[in-house]
Structure 1
Amino acid sequence: MPPNVNLLAYLQSKTQIDCDSLSLDVLASYDHFVDCTSNQADSYYEFLNEGRYDLLQKSVAFARGIYHEFPGVTLEEFAVEVSMVTVSLTAIPFIRGNIHVMANPSLAYSTPKIVENAKRISNLCHRWDPEFDLSRLVIKVPATWEGLQACRELTSTGINTLATTLFTIEQAILAAEAGCISISPFVHELKVHFDETYHDVDPIFELCLEAQQYFEQYSYTTRVKACSLIDVEEVMKLAGIAALTLPPGLMSGLRDTEDSEDEVFNLSIFDHKTDDSQASKRLSFIDDEAKFREAFSQRENGKGQSKTNQAIELFCGFQTKAENLLRGLLDQQRHDGLTKGVQEEALEQTQKTLIGA
């Protein structure tokens, strides 16, 4: 009989494991995480955490103090950006890799605005913690034509990007051409995590394999970092992918489960490579918007395009919720007569203060 293996240990031997949570309790509970990734939904729920209240107050004060330096964005939007940065930076002591901060999804269809947003996030990371290595910051950008062109420009300036809300091979190819360090295919539609009555009948496991093989075949350095999985068996189906972003529920399920090594091996679609006769034809979209839009819209009768739009809309909803929440803090500070000294304290935050917050 083949020996049993622990699923979490087995997965870690095959795949990079990243944290799909900003919770310090989760980050401290596992030594398996390399990166920590977040989005507007993760950030909003973490903003609601009572343990983050002091840090959120300092972040909002910080935002108010330097807001005049950043025209073209509302104070509420800016406060959300600052707070996403400050909360994300608290993950650094618990991980070996990068933090991922998502660009404002409401800008997903404007290349210049995404570029401006990403540069602002990078600037804020440095302003809040001058000792932070900016090579460990990755900006998550929606995989629209405009978003991926923004990634191209950001890559040329040395800012790392990840293509998120991705559902098709066309998006994956364009992301690689744009220089994204990773893509994040959503195996299940984002909606399944926010609507218990909704069932995704068309998960995109095979796209994860197809994209990774395509990148290897044509020597792209872009990595496949899949997310939006539902159960442990689905996770093990992707053992061998470059990276997986996993929430705490799946991490505990993996940690607490053992199975036959043969059974676990046979679950993975990555242990069955295609041969050369099935190699993908090389495609290019980076300088041909019409070609990309046509191919993207026609893929499975527009299913991938619809899923992308749906995910962006959901993230926009959480962006709005976060802005409304921080607007309340801004109003409260204004009403309480925030002193200049408190603003200066926020401006002088260091990594030591962050860790203790």
Structure 2
Amino acid sequence: MSKNLLEQLREMTVVVADTGDIQAIEKFTPRDATTNPSLITAAAQMPEYQEIVDQTLLQAKKDAGAGATQAQIVSLAFDRLAVSFGLKILQIIPGRVSTEVDARLSYDTEATITKARELIAQYAAAGIGKERILIKIATTWEGIRAAEVLEKEGIHCNLTLLFGLHQAIACAEAGITLISPFVGRILDWYKKETGRDSYPSAEDPGVLSVTQIYNYYKKFGYKTEVMGASFRNVGEITELAGSDLLTISPALLAELQATIGELPRKLDPSKAAAMSMEKLHIDKATFDKMHAEDRMASEKLDEGIKGFTKALETLEQLLADRLAVLSKTPVSA
């Protein structure tokens, strides 16, 4: 009997679940899982995860002390909630979970380093070693520099909101563990820019971008792993079969699982090694120049940071509202 596409994909690529929905992770049993502010905010509003939110808030209230304001308690709980979801996810998966630094720190190297160390310390206090955590940081120049410092401390990083080759090369030169180029968001930009409704999967601008990055890394022997992310359709995924990792939403995982057919390998390190291409060095001046010239990358990075910031603000309000309810409700012993 023929295998489904998901089974075949797993034979050449590490499949990662792109969700904060723990039940979906249990269903698809990925090796790794990724979360982001939008996903955590969405999960925190699901009734089945109310207990995680409530426990995190109540513990934050206890730890903050009797004189703490609502804002102080919410801030403490907010910092801990992504870790609370991460800990639940790590009980299910054998590999790593990606937990994101506050997007509002994306242009502050020192603050990003401090927040990453705090996240790792929270996991350590729960008995989780740093080898099971990837700290997600936006791929700004400041974020890359923060990740470079963290990697030297043994804190592994996942550079997210990545849209251009200049970002990818800078990450590789900094010794970053993993990057997450956003396939679907690149497609979104090009569809809006050109007025086209769709692209054939093999011509999808997001697919072409990740293929270029993968081939560059393999050609020049970089150890940084490529994990395609933000998919809009199954065709984007099948065109990137062979990538080091792919992080996929539950809906698309289900579609892959339900589809029977042959899945040829599209990305191959041996083929990349034989390609002819120029090796670049990305210093800050080159990064800034290439970023300014790449309107898609600059617009989508800015948009992504603003979007994650909005999700975080929504989450903070959600926590404040829930804390107000819990504060009026007697807590049983």
CA contact (8 A) 1:38 1:100 kept: yes
Pick one of 216, 219, 228 that aligns with 2:218. Answer: 216
CA contact (8 A) 1:188 1:204 kept: yes
Q: How does 1:265-280 map onto structure 2 within 5 Å? A: 265=264, 268=266, 270=268, 273-274=271-272, 276=274, 278-280=275-277
Task: Flag structure 1 segments of 5+ consecutive residues without an equivalent.
Answer: 343-357
Pick one of 25, 43, 48 that aligns with 2:45. Answer: 48
In the alignment, does 2:315 pair up with 1:327?
Answer: no
Task: Report what 1:102 is aligned to.
Answer: 100
Amino acid at match of 1:257: T
Structure 1 residues 269 and 134: CA distance shift in structure 2, 3 A: closer
**Deviation string for 1:75-123 (max 9, x for gaps)?**
4343222011011110113212101111111111111111111111111
Task: Report what 1:136 is aligned to.
Answer: 132
CA contact (8 A) 2:218 2:269 kept: no
User: Mean Cα displacement is larger for which, 229-238 or 313-322?
Assistant: 229-238
CA distance in 2, matches of 1:162, 1:275: 24
CA contact (8 A) 1:60 1:330 kept: yes
Task: Report what 2:176 is aligned to.
Answer: 180
**3-state SS in 2 of match to 1:303:** helix
Structure 1 residues 46 and 225: CA distance shift in structure 2, 3 A: same
Pick one of 284, 290, 302 that aligns with 1:295. Answer: 290
Amino acid at match of 1:9: E
Residue 219 of structure 1 deviates from its aligned partner by 2.3
Q: How does 1:206-355 map onto structure 2 within 5 Å? A: 206-259=208-261, 261=262, 264-265=263-264, 268=266, 270=268, 273-274=271-272, 276=274, 278-285=275-282, 288-299=283-294, 302-336=295-329
Task: Report what 2:155 is aligned to.
Answer: 159
Q: How does 1:102-121 map onto structure 2 within 5 Å? A: 102-121=100-119
Residue 275 of structure 1 deviates from its aligned partner by 6.5
CA contact (8 A) 1:126 1:132 kept: yes
**Deviation string for 1:272-327 (max 9, x for gaps)?**
93564x43322222xx322211122113xx22111111111111110110011111
Structure 1 residues 305 and 87: CA distance shift in structure 2, 3 A: same
Q: How does 1:17-32 map onto structure 2 within 5 Å? A: 17-31=15-29
Amino acid at match of 1:245: T
Structure 1 residues 338 and 93: CA distance shift in structure 2, 3 A: closer
Residue 26 of structure 1 deviates from its aligned partner by 1.0
CA contact (8 A) 2:130 2:154 kept: no
**3-state SS in 2 of match to 1:284:** coil
Structure 1 residues 185 and 48: CA distance shift in structure 2, 3 A: same
CA contact (8 A) 2:183 2:229 kept: yes
CA distance in 1, matches of 2:89, 2:165: 31
Residue 30 of structure 1 deviates from its aligned partner by 1.9
**3-state SS in 1 of match to 2:227:** strand
CA distance in 2, matches of 1:272, 1:138: 28
CA distance in 1, matches of 2:264, 2:134: 32
**3-state SS in 2 of match to 1:14:** coil
Task: Flag structure 2 segments of 5+ consecutive residues without an equivalent.
Answer: 66-70, 189-194
Residue 336 of structure 1 deviates from its aligned partner by 4.6
Task: Report what 1:11 is aligned to.
Answer: 9
Scaled by the length of structure 1, the TM-score of the pair is 0.82
Residue 229 of structure 1 deviates from its aligned partner by 1.1
CA contact (8 A) 1:209 1:270 kept: no
Residue 334 of structure 1 deviates from its aligned partner by 4.0
In the alignment, does 2:77 pair up with 1:62?
Answer: no
CA contact (8 A) 2:231 2:237 kept: yes
Amino acid at match of 1:158: G
Amino acid at match of 1:293: D
Would you say how many aligned residue pairs link Structure 1 and Structure 2?
320
User: Mean Cα displacement is larger for which, 148-157 or 4-13?
Assistant: 4-13
CA distance in 2, matches of 1:206, 1:108: 26
In the alignment, does 2:31 pair up with 1:34?
Answer: yes
Q: How much identity, in percent, do the aligned residues show?
A: 24
CA distance in 2, matches of 1:322, 1:191: 28
Scaled by the length of structure 2, the TM-score of the pair is 0.87
**Deviation string for 1:172-231 (max 9, x for gaps)?**
011112222110000021896xxxx99687632122122222222332211000111122
RMSD after superposition? 2.8
CA contact (8 A) 1:115 1:154 kept: yes
